Every structure is written in structure tokens, then in C-alpha cells.
Amino acid sequence: MRIAHVVETLQVGGAEQMVVALARLQRERGHEVAIACLFGEGPLAARAREAGIEITDCGKRAGLDLAAAMRLRRWLRKRRPEVLHTHNPVPHYYSAAAAAGLGIGTLLNTRHGMGASGQTDRRERLYRWAMGVSDFGVAVCRAARERFVAQEVIPAGKAVTVPNGIDLARTKLRSAEARAHLLRSLGVSGNPFVFGSVGRLNALKDQLTMLRAFARLLRADTGAGGPAGSGGGAVLVIAGEGEERPALEREIAALALHGHAFLLGQRDDVPDLLAGMDAFVLSSRTEGYSLALVEASAAGLPIVATDVGGNAEIVQEGVTGRLVPPGDPQALAQAMSELASSKVDLARMGAAAREWAMGHGSLETMYSEYLRLYRGGRAAAAAVTERELHA
């Protein structure tokens, strides 16, 4: 099968990593796969090329760019894909326009987040138009699908849910050895409890609230044993890069968290980092279906996350972790402290998280769901929706 993916860029992010992972597996299974980047390539393009995937750059500029649309159309005419799989709104309506009259068999779009806040957003109007000529729109969590249908962004008959998955073979279980290695790399002595997070440093991920919650936890730690009864206090490590780094660095200084909170930057050893953590924290103000939470679950980490988007579809309250309201440092600090204070809960929740990931978080499952949609069009979409209703 000839499959073409269209994305905004291949910068480092959850959606982009999912596209590259899916395209790589599709190629390994014998499909002919290519990716078009509407705005420009990004670091993940090299990873895709290493897997033998063709990458093209449409060079879209800000605003309406007919030249970029024509470059995309020429690429599609040359590739002659049987399936055109777009990701997020702008690539979708550009692709729908560029593909007009080319005889592409299946046109689908995956929305990787929860969408715009207002139904009158120009981007959403253009997206609705594109959905009119599409086979279906895919949401990455049930909460997003329900929202898109309620807002009439995606027609109910075309709306399906396919959760993102990860390559479980790349995951590593948390271990004392990995934890000791991580602490040595930070220059931290003793036996502190290790909270960790992975994600782009931006306002929507809201790591500022995470830092403020962590500072509250440290201030409240007046007992002899520290948060985990270890006598070593706690540290917080945040892996990722982004525009909020200067603000986060200022907050670390203002809260006197030097030596306790660490910004690790962009890392290519995330499985090793996760294996060295005691618990995972996500403070996002909005999420679709967080790959970071799936990866943390696969590592056997208990999780404290905000109750937004699809997070509650990954983190089961009291079973695999704790859910708290977004933007509430006190609630986040309380949940972190309660989780860290019980070794029994840590072990139980970590094991449950790993079990959930093995059953629900695989790249293979995601691949199979998309392949069914590619092959069956509307009928496959209806079948997936029927399974969701009885899940």
C-alpha cells in the first residue's frame, strides 16, 4: 500500500514522534511510505530517513501560501498514494485542497490534541470544510472525539478514536541501578525520591505549576524521613526543551530549588531516564493522548497527572496513579507527597501501570487500527466506532 503522511514539521514532539514511529513500522511491514512536512523538516526527519522514509519539505510561509499548496500537489501527483494520512488541522486542509481530483483512495486526518477553544476559529472552519471531503477524522482519545463531535468539527459518522502507541520493545523498567546512575549524573548524593517529567517546555505543559508544587512539597517536608521515608528529601528532573526554559530557570532560582530541580534539556535516552525515576509527573493544562504518560506507564512508574484531555484514559485514579485539577500547585503537591510517602502504593501502582501499558499502549495496536481504517474506509470507521461503544 502506498501511504503518504502530511505533518506541519518533524520537530521533537509527541505527535511528530508518533508519525515517525508509525511510518517506520508501516515501511517495515512492506508498505511504501513517505512524509511531507508543510512548514519545514526538523530533527526527526533524519530519524525517518534512516528508516528509509522519503521526506519532502513544502516550505510553507506564514498565512495563505498557494505556492506551498502547489508543491504539495506536485508531490502527491508524483507519489500517487492510495492513502493520504494528515496530522492536525493545517496539513489537513492544505492536503484536501492539494489532493482534489487526484483520485486518492482514502483521506483521513488525526487530531493530536483537544482542538481550538472556539468554534469560530478560522482554522477550524477550514478544517470543517476539509472534513467534508474526507473519509473520517481520528481523535487520539475518547474525550477529544466527544468534543469534536459536540462542536461539529468532525461529523459523528466520520469520527473515530485511535489512541497513540509506543514501541514497547524500547522501554525499560525502573530499577535501582538506573536510579543510582541518574542521581550520579546529577551530582546528587544521598537517597532522595526522584520525581520526573518529560515534555516540551511550553505554557501548555505548565511546568511552572510543577515547580511550584515541588517547592511546596519540599517546604512541607519537615519529617525525619523525607517524602519517601528515605532521609534524602526529593529531586525533580524535567527532560525537554522549549521556549519556556528561561521562565523555568528564573522560577527555579526564585524558589531556591537549585540542587533539587533539574532541567535536563532535550534527551535521546528517555527510556533510561524513566527507568531512573520513582514517579512521573505531568502538569499539562491541556492534552490529547500523552505519549509521555504511556512511556512512563510502560516503565512501571506510578503517575501524578492533571485531569485534562485523555489523561484519565491512561491514568486510573488510585490504581496507576493520581489525577489532580490543572493549574493547582497545592493539589499537585499533595498528590505527589501522598504518592511518595507509601512504598506499598508505589509498587502496586507501578505494576498496574506497566500491565496497562502492555495491554493498551503498543505501537502494534495503533498500526493495526490505522491499517483497518486505510483498507476499509467508511465501513472500517463504523466498525471501530462500534467497538468503542462496547469497550
Cell numbers 482519545: residue = 141
Q: Is there a shared CATH topology between the 2-165+362-389 domain and the 168-360 domain?
A: yes
HSE at residue 100, side-chain half, CA atoms within 13 A, is 12
Domain 2-165+362-389: state its class. Answer: alpha beta
Indicate the domain borders of the chain.
2-165+362-389, 168-360
CA dist 125 to 36, 132, 303, 307, Å?
23, 11, 37, 28
* Helix/strand/coil for 376: helix
The topology (CATH level 3) of 168-360 is Rossmann fold (3.40.50)
Cell digits of residue 299: 516503565
Q: Which of 362, 292, 266 is nearest to 22 (CA)?
A: 362
Question: Do residues 19 and 7 touch, judged by C-beta distance below 8 A?
Answer: yes
What is the chain's pLDDT, residue by residue, as a tens digit (391 residues)?
Answer: 999 999 999 998 889 999 999 999 999 999 999 999 999 999 999 999 999 999 999 999 998 999 999 999 999 999 999 999 999 999 999 999 999 999 999 999 999 999 865 545 788 889 999 999 999 899 999 999 999 999 999 999 999 999 999 999 999 999 999 999 999 999 999 999 999 999 999 999 999 999 999 999 999 864 434 454 444 599 999 999 999 999 999 999 999 999 999 999 999 999 999 999 999 999 999 999 999 999 999 999 999 999 999 999 999 999 999 999 999 999 999 999 999 998 888 999 999 999 999 999 999 999 999 999 999 755 554 555 545 544 4
Question: Do residues 98 and 74 touch, judged by C-beta distance below 8 A?
Answer: no
Cell digits of residue 39: 512548514
For 100, which DSSP code?
Answer: T
